[in-house]
Amino acid sequence: MQINLSENAVTKVHGFMEEHGAGETAGLRVAVLPGGCSGFQYGLNIEDNPEDEDEVFDLSDGIRVFVDPFSAQYLEGVEIDYVTTMMGSGFTFKNPVAAGGCGCGSSFTI
């Protein structure tokens, strides 16, 4: 499985981890949850440890990523970016598995 974070996303995640006081076992949970206006939505969270069933990825930029088995099937090849526009700022997802999405960019369909 491959998950990619842009340079901007890496910078923001490192900042959030520092604010959280994250230790060496901490990582970024990337999740897919039922809901949103298109059927599925993304979730990001800083967690201290992975769950037993999680896949754990140590990215080259020093970020650990935790993905649960349900989410893994929808995240292959996803690219996570952090963008700032006149309308606001936040994480965006480019997902090659998604068949469509909504205008807000935080939910998708398969």
Stretch 28-34: mean pLDDT, rounded?
92
Secondary structure (3-state) at 108: strand
pTM of the model: 0.85
Is residue 86 within 8 A of residue 92, CB to CB? The reply is: no
Q: Do residues 34 and 108 lie in contact, with contact meaning Cβ atoms separated by under 8 Å?
A: no
Q: What is the pLDDT of residues 6-24, one digit of tens each?
A: 999 999 999 999 998 888 8
Residue 40's nearest CA partner among 79, 17, 73, 10 is 73
Nearest in space to 58 (alpha carbons), one of 86, 24, 32: 24
Q: Write down the pLDDT at residue 104.
A: 53
Which domains can be identified in the chain, with CATH numbers?
4-98 (2.60.300.12)
**Tally of CB atoms within 10 A around 59:** 15
pLDDT tens-digit readout, 34-49: 876 667 888 999 999 9
